[in-house]
Structures are given as structure tokens and as C-alpha cells.
Structure 1
Amino acid sequence: MGSVEEPDKPISLSDSSSSPTQPLLSKHPFPSPPPPPPVDDKPIEPESDPTQFLQISYNYGPRPFKDLPFLLLFLLFTLSTFAFGIFSIFHSNTYYSDLSSFSYDSNSTSCIESSLSDTHANWVRFYSFLSSSILESLIWTLVVTFILSIPMCLLLLLLLKHYTKQIVYASLPFFIVIPIFLNVYWFVACTVSSSCSDAFPLAYRILALVFVFLVIGVIVWIFVVHWHRIELTVSIIGVASDALWSNLGLFWVLPCLTLGLVVYYVPIVVFLVFARQNGKIVPRETSGEYTCVWKQDGWVPAYYALAILAMFWSAAVMVEVQVYVISGTVSQWYFSKEDETPRRSIRSSLRNAFGPSSGTICLSGLLIGVVRVVRATVDTARQEDVPGIVNLILRCCANVFLSAVDFLNKFTINFVAITGETYCTSARMTYELLKRNLLSAVFVETISTRLLAGIVFVLSAIYAIVVCAILKAVSHLEAEAYYVAALAWVLLIVVLSFFVHVLENVIDTVYVCYAMDRDSGDVCKREVHEVYVQLPISRNHRPSLAPTPVV
């Protein structure tokens, strides 16, 4: 046996192959050719390519702190605002509210207190306003509206979960009928009322009537053009409603976060009030006459700028925190198994939002705030209609840049909540992920936003009409009933818009999770894949529901 195996050693492949059965090939009369090494090396190449992100899912492990400099900068803004605010309270001048009681004294060439201010009369007028029937009806109407808005949100979510198609198609006619009814009703009521017809001549009323009908025509045109996408959008809204219904805890966590922002604002508003009282009463000569005026300290305007920037940045950060919590919670639900329910998903998302990812959230809020300020500046310049080709080019470039930042940031914070990466890394990975899979499908969310906004408008308008009818029947209000009903309509729109905002973020999160699933070849939620598979996978591909070709 040993003499037979010795000649085979030079031609044995056991030294160059990892397979344990390879030495058996030595028994063949002819030696086998060695396997080509490129075949074994090719599967390793995608793993070494940093642009390939395989098996991306929710990061349940410990996350390191990211983007810490922006967290420190945010804390510096906040601590400076509170520190100077506390200083303004102890350094305030109590004579600020009694400026009208000071007069110029020529003997001392200064302002002295001559009489007490008429504060008591102002309080009497305020209490008489509080006791009026108008304010009483307004308060009761707003309180009842706010209480009813909570079950209305839950009922709407439940209906969208089970009867999405019926709710959407039943609401579509009201998108047109209610504006037409309100437009005609306003025109007839103003024509009948003598006071309204005197304030608004017939020509202005006709102009307003025609303008509203033109707006209604634009709405009809939008739905006609996008009619082929509504069926797919209905399915997307239904999937998002099911995801939100599985995470109902968000409905009490997100309002608590908003309430926390309000509580955070209260001391800053108090600081701003006391900051105005930092100064002194000094005489001022105007046309040879001396009057007493209030002169603020030089640091007060700078503190106002600091406090307003801190409040603005905090609001943007809180919006990003809410998006982060929604994305973290929904993504845990998405990547969980069918027979499992994720535990403490909201708690872990909150812990990550105010912990390892707090710096990233501060950076995202800062970018959003800068974009909003620049966009407001561009809109102001457009309204002023400054001539010049250079100004026009700058406005176009600014709009393109702002749109790009908005699109890039739209899904970045969702990706941060899922993976815990830094902002820049998440932005790059999200862009490449959507580019490989679903970049052109964003148009569907525009339709879903319009549909949800239309449903909110219909429900709020119907509620306002009912409130106005009840006030007319049970109270002595005349034209004031319309104002009270309008305020109730605004309050209900605000609450329902918050619900729509949450649902839109759920749609974005499911969208990103589906892109990760498609990129790795997994199917975590089959019902989501059945809907989102109809979306286009490239810029030159349209879903079957959209037969119009791309030119």
C-alpha cells in the first residue's frame, strides 16, 4: 500500500484544495486539473466592497454615541438660554410695567413716578370679557372638540385598517362637494346679509366665487391625472394603518413628547418676558419736549436671538425625535417574526433617541431648521420680485439645493433609527439603497399625503357644519357661531393632521424596511411585499397600474 501511495503524492490535490474528499481524485489514471482560483475568490468580493450592505435590519445590540459635537452644541445653546434667562429675572426692573406713571422732572432732569397706573381697570375689562357668553361657548366647544378628537383618530385608524378602499372612495366625492357647498353658501349668505354685502361689493363676491371654483377645478384635475395610482396608494395606506395599529402605544408617547416640548418652552417664554424688563426709564427729547421712554440693556436683543434660535432648533429636534421613535418602533415590528410581538420597542427607541443617537438627531434638526430659514428667505425674495437674471438663477439654485436636502433627509433619520449609524453614513447608505431598489417610487407618497389630507378636510368640515348647527340651535349666538365653528374646525384639523403626520412617517419607515428586505432578498412581512412589489424598481420602469410610458 505504501508503494502505491508514494508516486501519487506529487500529483495529489489535497494541498491546494479545502475539500476533504479531494485526495480521492488521485486514484484516477490521469491527474485532475487544479480548480481555477478566481471561482473561489468571487464570493468574497462583495463582502469586501463597502458599498454593498448585506442583511441590513434593526440593530438590537448596543449602539455607540454618534455625532457628539452637535449634541454638545445643542446643550450649549440650551444652557446659555437658561443661564442668561435666570440672570434676566434677577436683574429685571420692576418699573417697566409702570412706564405710563413716570413723567419728566425738569428740576432733577430725570423721570420720576407721578401716579399709579390704571391696572385695576384693565383687569375689570379682562374679567368682563371672560364672563361673556361668546368666550364661554368657545371654551366649551374647543374642550369637547379636543376630547372627541382622540376617539375620532382611533376610529379613523381602525377604518383605514379594515376598510381603506371604502373610506377613500367614499371621501373622494366630498373633496368636491364640500368646497362647492361652502363656496355657494358663503356667497348666498353674504348677499342676503346687508352688513356683509356692504363690506364686500358684488364684484368682489363674484371674483371670490370664481376663484374658489378654479381651485376646485385644479383639485379635480389632480385626481383625474393620478387616478391610475389611487388603487396602489389605497393599498399602501392600508398596510401603514395595520403597522400603526400594531403599535398603538405611539399615540400616547408622541403627544407626551409634544407636551414635553411645551413644558420646555414655558421657562424660555418667561425668560423672554423678564428680559424685556432689563433696562431703565430715561428721558428723551423730541421736538423740544421731554418724554419718559424705556431703554433696554444692550444684551437683550442678543438674548432674544439666542432664545429664539434655541426654541426653533428644539422644535426641529423634537420633530426628528418623533420620527426617530416612530421609525424605530415600526421597524422592530417589521423585522420581527410573524408569530412574535416585539417587546418594549417604544422604550428602546426612546432610549436610543435620547442616548446614542441624540447627536445625530440634533444634526438632523439643525439641517431642517437651516433649510426652513433659507426657504423662507427665498420665498420672501420671490414675493419682493427683485429683478435681475442673477437673482433668478440664485433662487433656482437655492430651490434645487433645498429640494435635494429635503429628499436626502427624508429617509435618513429612518435609517438612523434602524441601524444607529451616523448622519452622513446613513444618508449615503440610504441613497445607495434606494438607488439600487426603489428610488423612483417616492411619487406614491405624494398621492397618499393628498388623500389623507383630503380625508382630514372632509371629516373636519362635516364636524364644523354640525357644530355650527348645534350652536345656532342651543345658544343665542348669531354671526359669532360661525367663528366658534371655524375655530373648532381648525382645532380638529390640527389634531387629525398630527395623526396624518404619524401615518406618513409609518409609510416612510415601511418603505425603507421593504427596501432593506429587497436588497437582502428576505421577506419579513409578506403582506407588505404583496403591495410594494407593484412599485417601480428603476427610473425607467412604471408599475402595472400606471400604463403611461416615461418619455
Structure 2
Amino acid sequence: MPLLLFEPILTLLSLLMVIVCWFYFCLWVQSSGYLTYIREQFFTYQPDTAMKIAGFWNLFSMLWMCQFIIGCQHMVLAGAIATWYFTRNKNNLGNPVLYSFYNLVKYHLGSVCLGSLLVASVQLIRILLAILQKYLRNKTGKCARCILSCCQCCLYCFENILKYITRNAYIEIAMYGKNFCESGRQAFKLLVNNSLRVTVINSVGDFVLLLTKILVVVATVLIGIQMLEYKEGLQYVWIPLVLAGTFTYFVAHCFITVYEMAIDTIFLCFCEDCEQNDGISRPYYMSKSLMSFVENSKKAMNAQTGPPIQNAPPTTISDKV
């Protein structure tokens, strides 16, 4: 499904539009209020309570829209990959990416709105707490500052956990089409029941993906060094190299998220496949390489060498997908 690699480009363009709109409305909010005289030839706009509320609402809307766009990307990727997983004959896939986008627009926009609202709310609370920390920096003791720092750390951990559960809830929604709360509960149940597998996949997978990002950045910097080594008139070579490396990291991160979402989706599909099928009377949808992680894998492989898989009785998941 090569169209999946174009999904980050569409997401990036959408995020840029949201940020531009947020900045535009920030200018309107900051330039609103009562024109107040300071001294000769100096005036300023003093915002009232309504303008202050509008500023925070503008910030929250930006956070919500950004999380909504990222959630839409997760939903499209999860739907396409889940369709690929639960299709025995891959030649009959058709256009899974477009079909997943169609399902998102028709059925699942409300679930993405709810999931993005939860994440954006936690992010807004963290920003408000950071503002409070800055305001009370020189007005409180060490104990109060320590408590605020602990609260900020707890909120950061809670935000990451919420993002992880929300992403897996999107995968369950793409598989079964249920609402956000029920899908989140099912995803949490699967993750708890397969906690050891989750730990291994997250640790090894995240490490490999991080090495990939680092490799891309290092390769870009090395190429830049070779290109700028004999460049005349350039005094500070490391400034463009640092900018190129930073930009490269964000670009690599955007495309690596596709593989990260694919890993999470295939893992949850694998867990659902193991729970719904036994590999003998109800054949697995997984490939033979994945069957090495399942009990009765040898019997399942022997069963697959007999009758064709296409003639196997349908399972609950295939009907729902």
C-alpha cells in the first residue's frame, strides 16, 4: 500500500494550515481591547476578560485541531492496515487507503473528536500549570515549586499514556467500528493481557525506529559537511548543518510514524487473531512467520498445507471487517 507513505505529507500540510490560522487569530486577539495611553506617542491595547478568555480558547482550539488531524491520520492508517491483515488473498484488497478514509469521514469523526479532545484538554492543563509555575517562581518556597514540578511530571506521563491508549483505541475502532469508549476498553484489555509482548515490541521497536531517525540525520549532516566543506564565503558551517539536521529529524519522524502505527496495528490484529481463532478449525489470518509466536503453531502450519485457506469458514473478525 504505497499510498500510506503520502499520508504524512497531507497531515503536515493540514497542521501547517491550523498553525497559520492560530497565528492569524492570535494577532486579532492581541490587537483587540481598549487602546490605553502609556506615555507620549506610546499606546497599547489592554485586553479585557473576554479577550483573555478568547486567547485561551484560541490556544485550546489549536491543540484540539492538531490532535484531531493526527488522530485522523492514525485512523486512516489503522483502517488500511487492518483491512490488509484480515484479507487472506492480498490481490483482492482494492483501495484500502481510500476505503479507510471513506469510513473515517462517514462513521468515525466523532470518535476522533472525543479522543483528540481528551488529549488536548490534558495539554491545556499542562500549559496553564506551566504559566502558574512561571508566575509563582519568585513568590513561593521550594516546597511549593517542588509540588508544581511533580504535578507537571505526572501530567506529562498521563498525557503520554492517554495518547498511547487513544492510538490503540483508534485501531480497535478501525477493526470493529465500535464507539471510542468501548474500543478504548477493549484495547486496554488486550494490552494488559499481552503486557509482556507489548513491553518487548515497544522497547525493541521504539529503539529500532529511533536508530532509523538518527541514521537519517547523521547521513544528512555528513552529506552537508561534504557539500559545504569547500564552500567559499561561509564562515559558520555548523549553523546550516544544525538547521538541516533539525529539519531532517522532523521529516524522518513524520514518515517513521507510519511504520510505528503499522507495528501497533499489526500487533493488535495479531492479538485479536489469536483470541478469535485457533489455527486449526478456524485458520489464522496471520502469516506463517507470525505463527511462531502462537501456541499450536506447528499444527496450524500443517493445517495450512492441506486445504486452501480461501475455503476456510469465516470468523467473527472477517465478517465485521
The TM tier, using the shorter chain, reads 0.7 to 0.9
Note the C-alpha offset of 1:387: 1.9
1:463 aligns with 2:224: no
After TM superposition, the structure 1 = structure 2 runs for residues 485-500 of structure 1, keeping only pairs within 5 Å, are 485-500=241-256
Query: Aligned with 1:387: secondary structure?
Result: helix
Provide the C-alpha distance between the structure 2 equivalents of 1:490 and 1:399, rounded to a whole number of angstroms: 23
Identity %: 18
Note the C-alpha offset of 1:462: 2.7
Provide the C-alpha distance between the structure 2 equivalents of 1:399 and 1:458, rounded to a whole number of angstroms: 28
Preserved contact between residue 472 and residue 478 of structure 1 (Cα < 8 Å): no
Preserved contact between residue 36 and residue 46 of structure 2 (Cα < 8 Å): no
Provide the C-alpha distance between the structure 2 equivalents of 1:398 and 1:482, rounded to a whole number of angstroms: 36
Preserved contact between residue 375 and residue 402 of structure 1 (Cα < 8 Å): no
Note the C-alpha offset of 1:381: 9.0
Partner of 1:344: 95
Partner of 1:316: 67
1:423 aligns with 2:184: no
Cα 1:254–1:269 change in 2 (3 A) is same
Preserved contact between residue 60 and residue 120 of structure 2 (Cα < 8 Å): no
Partner of 2:315: none
Preserved contact between residue 60 and residue 124 of structure 2 (Cα < 8 Å): no
1:258 aligns with 2:12: yes
1:273 aligns with 2:27: yes
Preserved contact between residue 517 and residue 523 of structure 1 (Cα < 8 Å): yes
After TM superposition, the structure 1 = structure 2 runs for residues 73-472 of structure 1, keeping only pairs within 5 Å, are 247-279=1-33, 281-284=35-38, 290=40, 292-298=42-48, 299-374=50-125, 386-387=142-143, 391=147, 395=151, 405-436=162-193, 438-443=194-199, 444-472=201-229
Cα 1:517–1:311 change in 2 (3 A) is same
Note the C-alpha offset of 1:279: 4.5
Cα 1:324–1:491 change in 2 (3 A) is same
Query: Which residue, out of 491, 500, 513, partners 2:269?
Result: 513
After TM superposition, the structure 1 = structure 2 runs for residues 61-72 of structure 1, keeping only pairs within 5 Å, are none
Partner of 2:310: none
Provide the C-alpha distance between the structure 2 equivalents of 1:263 and 1:403, rounded to a whole number of angstroms: 25
Note the C-alpha offset of 1:512: 0.5
Note the C-alpha offset of 1:400: 7.0
**Alignment-mate amino acid for residue 352 of structure 1:** N
Structure 2 gap ranges (5+): 278-282, 296-321
Aligned residues: 282
Cα 1:300–1:517 change in 2 (3 A) is same
Provide the C-alpha distance between the structure 1 equivalents of 2:112 and 2:23, rounded to a whole number of angstroms: 24
TM-score by length of 2: 0.76
**Alignment-mate amino acid for residue 45 of structure 2:** K
Bigger radius of gyration, 1 or 2?
A: 1
**Alignment-mate amino acid for residue 264 of structure 2:** D
Query: Which residue, out of 273, 280, 291, partners 1:530?
Result: 291
Query: Aligned with 1:450: secondary structure?
Result: helix
Provide the C-alpha distance between the structure 1 equivalents of 2:89 and 2:270, rounded to a whole number of angstroms: 15
Provide the C-alpha distance between the structure 1 equivalents of 2:7 and 2:156, rounded to a whole number of angstroms: 35
Structure 1 gap ranges (5+): 1-246, 535-551
Cα 1:330–1:260 change in 2 (3 A) is same
Provide the C-alpha distance between the structure 2 equivalents of 1:497 and 1:531, rounded to a whole number of angstroms: 31
Partner deviation per Cα, 1:114-153 (whole Å, 9 max, x = no partner)? xxxxxxxxxxxxxxxxxxxxxxxxxxxxxxxxxxxxxxxx
Query: Aligned with 1:355: secondary structure?
Result: helix
Provide the C-alpha distance between the structure 2 equivalents of 1:397 and 1:310, rounded to a whole number of angstroms: 23
Note the C-alpha offset of 1:345: 1.2
Flag the structure with more relative contact order, 1 or 2, with Cα contacts below 8 A and sequence separation at least 6.
1
Provide the C-alpha distance between the structure 2 equivalents of 1:273 and 1:392, rounded to a whole number of angstroms: 31
Preserved contact between residue 433 and residue 519 of structure 1 (Cα < 8 Å): no
Provide the C-alpha distance between the structure 1 equivalents of 2:51 and 2:127, rounded to a whole number of angstroms: 25
Note the C-alpha offset of 1:295: 2.2
Note the C-alpha offset of 1:401: 5.2
TM-score by length of 1: 0.46
**Alignment-mate amino acid for residue 365 of structure 1:** S
**Alignment-mate amino acid for residue 428 of structure 1:** R
Note the C-alpha offset of 1:307: 1.4
Query: More helix per residue: 1 or 2?
Result: 2
Preserved contact between residue 364 and residue 409 of structure 1 (Cα < 8 Å): yes
Provide the C-alpha distance between the structure 2 equivalents of 1:401 and 1:272, rounded to a whole number of angstroms: 29
Preserved contact between residue 320 and residue 365 of structure 1 (Cα < 8 Å): yes
Note the C-alpha offset of 1:248: 1.1
Note the C-alpha offset of 1:302: 2.5
Preserved contact between residue 18 and residue 66 of structure 2 (Cα < 8 Å): no
Provide the C-alpha distance between the structure 2 equivalents of 1:355 and 1:446, rounded to a whole number of angstroms: 36
Query: Aligned with 1:357: secondary structure?
Result: helix
Provide the C-alpha distance between the structure 2 equivalents of 1:259 and 1:500, rounded to a whole number of angstroms: 17
Report the aligned-residue RMSD: 3.2
Preserved contact between residue 122 and residue 155 of structure 2 (Cα < 8 Å): no
